[in-house]
Chain A
Amino acid sequence: MEIPGPNALAVRTANLCRHYQMGEVLVRAVDGISINIGAGEFVALLGPSGSGKSSLLNLVAGLDRPTSGAVIVQGNNLAALSREQLAKHRLHTVGMVFQSFNLIPSMTLLENVELPMRFAEVDRGERSARARQALERVGLSGRLAHRPTELSGGEQQRASLARALINRPKLLLADEPTGNLDSRTGTEIMDLLHSFNRSLGMTVLMVTHEQALAEKYAGRMLHLADGKLVDDVSNDHVPNISSVETPAPRGETP
């Protein structure tokens, strides 16, 4: 994997903090994290529950604002953006995948995938064609008119991947994408993530607590604990996808 130069940074954070008050206690969810993630990297965020992985991901996604410090995605300091601009950032720059899929249950798969294009004001004719194409790419061309509840977890996650990529973002953010899946379907999803990373050159930032998955797919692993970055490991030999056997699921990293 090529080492990204400073000009090709996808994400840069500088002394990034996200603190919030919970009753009497000040929770330091993200506490002074400074990282650089190059364009095209596949990065896994690892750490125990409450270590701040999801909070960091939300800051990069523009769903949340930092208490202090900078989070610069594709050259934009999100801390300085208005609510309106943050919405645009979520719409065009990043795509998100969640542990619980978060498909809208009242909509068919096709409508779910079309939804971000409604916000982006893409023409109706183009929308349908693009959504069909995206669903085809994740192997769901036969399920266009199905509702999410009629599908398996793996199928739902693939649909949500199609939805995340529909507005052609530069950065894919995945929050425990395999957390609700059995290991075999989990692998399928990881293979898809990997292929998007490779074929589209898309930067992937994935939160997981499964060390094994991270080791297998991520080129770099960031370990977090108590809101701080404790380890930054490059994984120089990400194995070839085709040669990988189904891994046994593992528990939380201690």
Chain B
Amino acid sequence: MKFYDVTDLAIRNLRESVFRNSLTTIGISVGVASLVAMLSLGIGLQQLASSRLQKSGLFNTVVATSRRDLRNFREQREEGPPPAESPALDEPARKKIEQIPGVVEAYPDIRFVTEVRFDDKPYLTMVAGIPFSAKNNNDAFDGMQGNFFSSEAGPEVILQKSFAEELLGMKPKPGADETNIAALAKPLLGKELTMRYSERTSSPSSSSAGPGDSAAYSVVSRQLALKIVGLTDLDPDSMRGTARARVFLPLKLAQDLHIMQSNLRDTAASDSPSYTSLSVRVGNPNQVPAVEDAIKKMGFSAFSLVDATRSMRQFFAVFDGFLAIFGSLALTVASIGIVNTLVMAILERRREIGIMKALGASDADVRGLFFAEAGAMGLVGGAVGVTLGWALGRLINFGTNIYLERQHFPPAEIWSVPLWLVLSAIAFSIVVSLLSGLYPAARAARLDPVQALRYE
């Protein structure tokens, strides 16, 4: 029989006992819906967790340091060339690291302790450079007050909340409600902050000095007026632990100022500075190990927190597995329903099957017909089930967000139904239905026409 005829006859047959077949199909829908619901919850939570972590910069960042700087405070020997032969972590090295596949950018870490003046009062704090690209990939700037830097090297500054409190003379009371960041921002945004810093300038005699010597430069004291453009609640510098900065400058600006960094061991403030460490941002956390290896091969030390993401992914794989098993239970029950419905249909249509065989229908024709009926129920059940699961997910998401809002958390998508899940859920439903149709179809195909046609 041609495909059209098989489908046509199958649909006719399904319509003949529409009530029973609808019930069976609803059973499949509920099964698929529960599967989709479980899996999309798992996927949603995973996406939520990994996007939060990714934006924190913890898991897609490799910190590259020159081995020369390690010699004083690290006992442990690492593979690669001994520190003395390790190459300099300079501008050409930075460019080379940026060439590694998967690397989005590599930028120097610039941080220094200095004095800033606000309202004619001096404050001592750690200042750090933030790359312009952080605007879109660091979630510390998602909920910030004011704006991110307007240009790559503008004389602008973003303050961390605790520093803003200090500037305004407020002391955070332990246990009390958190200060409203919007209230903090109001008197600060647009105001001016003066930063004092020491600029290194190369001295003319420095040309003969080799790298590693810290002789040939001079320090000039300078100050710069900066406009406060933003205030952030979260800490964009979370990877640094204790050495956290509370004032942030555009990285390009910080570089151009040639600020004297206390831990910098290189000499020249010339065109090719050498860096203490580089932050290497990788597009996909999965590529972090490869990038780490590549950097180590170049002779630098590399460090990342990727192991943490690996165990997170492992956790979610197991978690999704469990959810899928629970979700599948309902589908298993539904597939037994299909078997039952089709076996009933064989008994009911015994004579009809006999007639079709007498008229010349082959075993394959009869089998195909029952398969098509099972498949059609699977298709419809799958489609309805996915819709049902999706609707259920929206509902739970809606409820969760109301709860999150009450708890003063930003809304979150804990429910995600990607297209691949929709398609594979429907495909899975069809496959399960066809498998359920296997036995009834075989039984119908083997039906003896003489017996089937015997007068009742």
Decide if B358 touches A102 in the complex (CB within 8 Å): yes
Decide if A83 touches B362 in the complex (CB within 8 Å): yes
Decide if B359 touches A163 in the complex (CB within 8 Å): yes
Q: How far is the CA of A167 from the CA of B360 in the complex (A)?
A: 10
Q: Which of A83, A91, A104, A124 contacts B360 (CB 8 A)?
A: A91
Q: How far is the CA of A131 from the CA of B450 in the complex (A)?
A: 26
Q: Which of A88, A107, A115, A124 contacts B359 (CB 8 A)?
A: A115
Residue of B nearest to A58 (CB): B450
Q: How far is the CA of A91 from the CA of B363 in the complex (A)?
A: 13
Q: Which of B363, B365, B453 contacts A98 (CB 8 A)?
A: B453
Q: How far is the CA of A86 from the CA of B397 in the complex (A)?
A: 59
Q: Which of B9, B352, B358, B453 contacts A90 (CB 8 A)?
A: B358
| In the complex, chain B residues 1-33 whose Cβ is within 8 Å of any chain A Cβ | 1-2, 4-5, 9, 12, 16
Is B216 engaged at the interface, CB distance under 8 Å to the other chain?
no
Decide if A118 touches B9 in the complex (CB within 8 Å): yes
Decide if B360 touches A84 in the complex (CB within 8 Å): no
Decide if B360 touches A121 in the complex (CB within 8 Å): no
B361: chain A residues at CB < 8 Å are 87, 91, 119
A92: chain B residues at CB < 8 Å are 360
Q: How far is the CA of A119 from the CA of B356 in the complex (A)?
A: 9
| In the complex, chain B residues 338-383 whose Cβ is within 8 Å of any chain A Cβ | 351-352, 355-365
Decide if A120 touches B16 in the complex (CB within 8 Å): no
Is A14 engaged at the interface, CB distance under 8 Å to the other chain?
no
A159 to chain B, nearest CB (A): 13
Is B455 engaged at the interface, CB distance under 8 Å to the other chain?
yes
Residue of A nearest to B363 (CB): A83
Residue of B nearest to A94 (CB): B360
A58: chain B residues at CB < 8 Å are 450
| In the complex, chain A residues 46-91 whose Cβ is within 8 Å of any chain B Cβ | 58, 61, 63-64, 83-84, 87-88, 90-91
Q: How far is the CA of A98 from the CA of B354 in the complex (A)?
A: 12
Is A96 engaged at the interface, CB distance under 8 Å to the other chain?
yes
Decide if B450 touches A63 in the complex (CB within 8 Å): yes
Q: How far is the CA of A64 from the CA of B12 in the complex (A)?
A: 29
Decide if B449 touches A119 in the complex (CB within 8 Å): no
Decide if A120 touches B453 in the complex (CB within 8 Å): no
Residue of A nearest to B362 (CB): A87
A183: chain B residues at CB < 8 Å are none
Is A116 engaged at the interface, CB distance under 8 Å to the other chain?
yes
State the majority secondary structure of interface residues on B. Answer: helix
Decide if A106 touches B16 in the complex (CB within 8 Å): yes
Chain B: interface residue count, which band? 20 to 34
Decide if B1 touches A121 in the complex (CB within 8 Å): yes
B367 to chain A, nearest CB (A): 12
B17 to chain A, nearest CB (A): 10
Residue of A nearest to B446 (CB): A83
Decide if B359 touches A119 in the complex (CB within 8 Å): yes
B453 to chain A, nearest CB (A): 7
**Best-buried of B12, B361, B450 by chain A (most CB within 10 Å):** B450
Q: How far is the CA of A20 from the CA of B111 in the complex (A)?
A: 97
Q: Which of B1, B9, B358 contacts A61 (CB 8 A)?
A: B358
B351: chain A residues at CB < 8 Å are 102
Residue of A nearest to B2 (CB): A121
B450: chain A residues at CB < 8 Å are 58, 63-64
B358: chain A residues at CB < 8 Å are 61, 63, 90, 96, 98, 102
Is A100 engaged at the interface, CB distance under 8 Å to the other chain?
yes
Residue of A nearest to B445 (CB): A83
B449: chain A residues at CB < 8 Å are 63
Q: How far is the CA of A58 from the CA of B449 in the complex (A)?
A: 10
Report which B residues bind A (CB closer than 8 A).
1-2, 4-5, 9, 12, 16, 351-352, 355-365, 449-450, 453, 455
Known contacts A91-B360, A96-B358, A99-B455; 20 further A-B pairs (Cβ under 8 A)? A61-B358, A63-B453, A64-B450, A83-B362, A84-B363, A87-B357, A87-B362, A88-B360, A92-B360, A98-B358, A100-B455, A102-B355, A102-B358, A106-B16, A115-B356, A116-B359, A116-B360, A119-B362, A121-B2, A167-B360
List 22 A–B pairs whose Cβ atoms lie within 8 Å, in order of A's numbering: A61-B358, A63-B357, A63-B358, A64-B450, A83-B363, A84-B363, A90-B357, A90-B358, A99-B455, A100-B455, A102-B355, A104-B355, A106-B12, A107-B12, A116-B359, A118-B1, A119-B1, A119-B356, A119-B362, A119-B365, A121-B2, A167-B360
